[in-house]
Amino acid sequence: MAYDAPLSDITFALTKVADLSRLDGNAAFEAYDPDLIAPILEEAGKLARDVLAPLNQIGDKVGAVLGPDGVTAAPGFAEAYAAFRDGGWMGLSAPEEWGGQGLPKVLGLAVMEMFHGANMAFTLCPMLSSGAIEALLAHGTDDQKARYLPKLVSAEWTGTMNLTEPQAGSDVGALRTKAVPNADGSYAITGQKIYITWGDHDVAENIIHLVLARLPDAPEGTRGVSLFIVPKFMVGDDGALGARNRVECIGLEEKVGIHASPTCVMEYSEATGFLIGAENKGLACMFTMMNSARLNVGLEGVGVGEAAWQAAFAYAQERKQGKAAGVTGAAPILHHADVRRTLTTMRAKVMAARAICYACGIATDLAEVGETEEIRTAAKLREDLLTPIAKAWSTDMGVDVASLGVQVHGGMGFMNETLAAQLYRDARIAPIYEGTNGIQAIDLVGRKLSMADGAAMTEMMDEIDATARRARETNDPGLVQIAERLKAANAALGEATLWMRETMISDRETALAGATAYLALAGDVIGGHFLTIGAVEARSSDGQTRGKMTALAGFFAETSLAAAPGAVAGIKFGGQAMLDESEALFGIS
């Protein structure tokens, strides 16, 4: 079996670790009832296992194809998209007003994790649509919402995000695509966008492109960027599809992975576009989309990591090599302690990243609909803090875990025919797009640590200390040991945070040289915090869950958390050693 949704792990992470119950009874989620969680996850798991996963490897082999009439999706993808659409999955967390089911966003995220795990290339399509829905909800006019949202929410149409140009990657403000006002209030959009995910395809009847472009005389840089809606087919006042717009895919990229996700070069030749949000405020509008997408990309790391662990575990049970104590004849490699250690590393990291992403998702929900101003403000701080960590830590984890999955397969893992090899290739893009992980680290230390005078990280670290106390108070020797590791790791995070905040002011270059290492430490400690909560909560679960959660938290504490104090020196002084010798190392001063 290629992928089997880990329903009990996902449910446990949602309900026991990330505390989904904080949304119970919230007036904004009239349709939500905790009893719905199980059937929703179960149904999503079936689609993931039975429809999406079986197409993952054929999608990798054949990929999407560009012909004279545009892009044709990989074999079976149109039918799978129809099943996704007919199942109503796109609307799970969208407002009922626009045809959605009005459920918490975090539930939609848990479902997306399964779809990513089953078939990341496929799931990128609805992931981009959900970003477009968010942007329209937050910034669209009433007319724009009425015209585009129902069809996006029903998944009859899909959405894309068009930022990147050859000279404008991380530096989005360098983009040159032009938007010239037409007499009728629309705009003529001209320019080329590259790397546009699902920029063209044949799985839905229309595509709503959200495009960043510059108005004539717009200020330089990010302050002169505006956002436009550019439909592939024009949409009449009655909702009927009209003429083909002047936008087309003129090339498909040959990629390392996610072959079934068409990555398009898009040519806009005076295409008709409609301003969304205010002039020159496009980046702020796009950020609505990007924040949602960043968390979703974090879940790609979790989904692919989970799939890699499942494939490695299955292989380790079958592959026989060497002898092991208590096994007659050649032993399945699972019996070798080193292989079990690799598998445990994979599983613990996936669990930690899952909890970080779900906690970020719940904060996103509460920031929007929390009952009081105080709850909303605290949740917004938590969401802002966790978003770069959820994106970067989880996607780095996805690559590491997929690589370990290849290792468990030995030489077979290096053969393209194995799923393990595909997962490794697919996982590699996630640290790059939606803001590279380097940019996420800069966002964390540059903006997030100083928000509300540092309250976001201070409150997080207070909670981590409280978790360590809670674990210690159980008096269970295993949990007490985990508590000690967590407390020491949190102290290390505190020291690194203080240094980072001060150094961002006194010597920004040195601080930025430690940003990625700081984010890695923050992810380790926050991940360890959630695993510890899991181990404490599991004390009232069945023996199997209790054993699993205690072992994973204990393993993570003795490996990742135990290394945390040593990581502080690398953050504080590692960068300095390099910067001091820039001339010798790089020939630059």
Ligand X SMILES: Cc1cc2nc3c(=O)[nH]c(=O)nc-3n(C[C@H](O)[C@H](O)[C@H](O)COP(=O)(O)OP(=O)(O)OC[C@H]3O[C@@H](n4cnc5c(N)ncnc54)[C@H](O)[C@@H]3O)c2cc1C
- Catalytic residue list: 434
Stretch that binds ligand X, among 9-17, 54-62, 75-83, 155-163 (CB under 6 A): 155-163
Contacts of 490 (CB under 8 A, 6+ apart): 461, 464, 465, 468, 525, 529
For residues 469 to 488, the per-residue mask of contacts with ligand X, x marking binding by CB under 6 A and - elsewhere, is --------------------
Stretch that binds ligand X, among 86-94, 101-109, 436-444, 450-458 (CB under 6 A): 436-444
Joined together, the tokens standing for residue 447 give 């903006």
DSSP secondary structure string for all residues of 53-96: GGGHHHHHHH--EEETTEEEPPTTHHHHHHHHHHTTGGGTTS-G
CB of 71 to ligand X, least distance (A): 14
Instruction: Figure out which of the listed residues 77, 148, 157, 433 binds ligand X, where binding follows CB under 6 A.
Output: 433
- Length of the chain (residues): 589
C-beta closer to ligand X: residue 104 or 257: 257
Rounded to whole angstroms, the Cα distance separating 509 from 442 reads 11
Rounded to whole angstroms, the Cα distance separating 583 from 589 reads 5
Q: Tell whether residue 291 is a contact of ligand X (CB under 6 A).
A: no
Stretch that binds ligand X, among 426-434, 474-482, 503-511, 569-577 (CB under 6 A): 426-434
C-beta closer to ligand X: residue 260 or 496: 260
Q: Tell whether residue 173 is a contact of ligand X (CB under 6 A).
A: no
Contacts of 412 (CB under 8 A, 6+ apart): 315, 319, 418, 420
Q: Tell whether residue 164 is a contact of ligand X (CB under 6 A).
A: yes
Rounded to whole angstroms, the Cα distance separating 553 from 536 reads 10
Rounded to whole angstroms, the Cα distance separating 189 from 179 reads 5
Stretch that binds ligand X, among 8-16, 427-435, 519-527, 555-563 (CB under 6 A): 427-435
C-beta closer to ligand X: residue 36 or 65: 65
Q: Tell whether residue 397 is a contact of ligand X (CB under 6 A).
A: no
Q: Tell whether residue 438 is a contact of ligand X (CB under 6 A).
A: yes
Q: How many residues bind ligand X (CB under 6 A)?
A: 18
- Residue 22: closest CA among 430, 484, 342, 365: 365
DSSP three-state, residue 218:
coil
Q: Tell whether residue 446 is a contact of ligand X (CB under 6 A).
A: no
CB of 304 to ligand X, least distance (A): 14
What is the identity of the amino acid at 133? I
Q: Tell whether residue 196 is a contact of ligand X (CB under 6 A).
A: yes
Q: Tell whether residue 439 is a contact of ligand X (CB under 6 A).
A: yes
Q: Are 334 and 340 in contact (CB under 8 A)?
A: yes
Q: Tell whether residue 161 is a contact of ligand X (CB under 6 A).
A: yes
Q: Tell whether residue 57 is a contact of ligand X (CB under 6 A).
A: no
Q: How far, in Å, are 16, 114, 178, 464, 556 from residue 530 at the CA level?
A: 10, 20, 46, 9, 11
C-beta closer to ligand X: residue 118 or 445: 445
Q: CB nearest ligand X: which residue?
A: 169
CB of 203 to ligand X, least distance (A): 16
Cα torsion angle, 308, 309, 310, 312, sign: positive
Q: Tell whether residue 195 is a contact of ligand X (CB under 6 A).
A: yes
Rounded to whole angstroms, the Cα distance separating 528 from 534 reads 10
Helix axes 419-427, 282-318, angle to 10 degrees: 160
Stretch that binds ligand X, among 22-30, 48-56, 99-107, 190-198 (CB under 6 A): 190-198
Give the single-character DSSP code of 157: E
CB of 182 to ligand X, least distance (A): 24
DSSP three-state, residue 236:
coil
CB of 532 to ligand X, least distance (A): 32
Instruction: Figure out which of the listed residues 162, 206, 550, 560 binds ligand X, where binding follows CB under 6 A.
Output: 162
Q: How far, in Å, are 327, 434, 569 from residue 429 at the CA level?
A: 41, 10, 30
CB of 169 to ligand X, least distance (A): 2
C-beta closer to ligand X: residue 162 or 310: 162
Q: Tell whether residue 252 is a contact of ligand X (CB under 6 A).
A: no
Stretch that binds ligand X, among 108-116, 336-344, 363-371, 430-438 (CB under 6 A): 430-438
Q: Tell whether residue 127 is a contact of ligand X (CB under 6 A).
A: no
For tokens 């929390």, name the residue.
Answer: 370
Residues forming contacts to ligand X in the complex (CB under 6 A) are 161-164, 169-170, 195-197, 255, 263, 429, 432-433, 436, 438-439, 442
